[in-house]
Amino acid sequence: MTKNAKYELLPAFEDREKEKRFRAARDTIITFEARERHGIGMQKEKTLHAVLKCTEEPDPDRQEIPVGSYIADILTEDQRIIEIQTANMNAMRDKLTSFLPLYPVKIVYPIPYRKWVTWIDPETGELTVRNKSTRKGNFYQAFRELYKIRPFLTDPHLSIDLILLDMEEYRLQDGWSRDKKRGSHRYDRVPVSIVSEILLERPEDYMIFLPPDLPEPFDSKTFAACAGIRGDMSSTILLMLTELGVAERIGKKGRSYLYRVRENEGEQTTEQEKADTKT
């Protein structure tokens, strides 16, 4: 990597069968007639959730299946639960407690990569011109939500499927600012294409979040710079990577904790633990 190159975690997406299912689901759910008849986002189920659910399992008989006290988004033919979680991961905690003793569970979590925003007048329904957002999403954003279920992440029956998508977003222009955009409500999200995907099936898979040019030891500021993320995210990510056993805290420099990549599974005692034992 050159000195000025910006690191971007973006594995190639090569699952052509999944891409075909995605396009078929998108084209079936998002039709011109449905949008004309019901309006954007007026379906009973939000568009993004519906498209991803039909991508994972096109058979409607396998969707919305009662399991215990809850309804699973999908129960596959080979007896696996798939949950599409497009927002607050806190809602998954009780479901995971109920589902995991019974079935393997995969959570599909979508992240916007490129986004085009259209504003909706809440009184007239009039749409503004579609504008492209200047910000790009990344896989590291998932940690804000994964943090809420981190006690479950080491369960061997749980896997996390992160999908980076280009999306169209529709927002009500009902906020508190003068242009009514700040504090506004999201109305619907329409997936356009799959950009990339990461499947996390075991703790070692989280190694992918450690940039290849990361020096050792490193602190949260260095990690943020190498990963190309905001500094306020890095401490949470490093906490979780440490709990997952792919990084370890080895001491402090000033007020900052120092970390290193844990490559040897048998190496359990950190330098800080050794120092604490001596004292």
CATH number at 220 reads 1.10.10.10
Paired sense of beta strands 158-172 and 105-120, if any: parallel
Residue that is last in its domain, among 163, 183, 201: 201
Do 84 and 21 share a structural domain?
A: yes
pTM greater than 0.75: yes
Question: What confidence tens digit (pLDDT) does each residue in 25-55 have?
Answer: 999 988 644 444 345 444 457 899 999 999 9
Do 180 and 221 share a structural domain?
A: no
Do 32 and 124 share a structural domain?
A: yes
Question: What confidence tens digit (pLDDT) does each residue in 101-141 have?
Answer: 999 999 999 999 999 999 888 888 888 888 999 899 999 99
Number of domains in the chain: 2
* The pLDDT of residue 40: 45
Domain that holds residue 144: 16-201
Do 270 and 141 share a structural domain?
A: no
Let me know if residue 11 belongs to a domain.
no
Let me know if residue 228 belongs to a domain.
yes
With a cut of 90, say whether residue 234 has pLDDT above it: yes
Residue that is last in its domain, among 179, 201, 223: 201
Do 146 and 41 share a structural domain?
A: yes
Question: Are 257 and 249 within 8 A, CB to CB?
Answer: yes
User: 131 in helix, strand or coil?
Assistant: strand
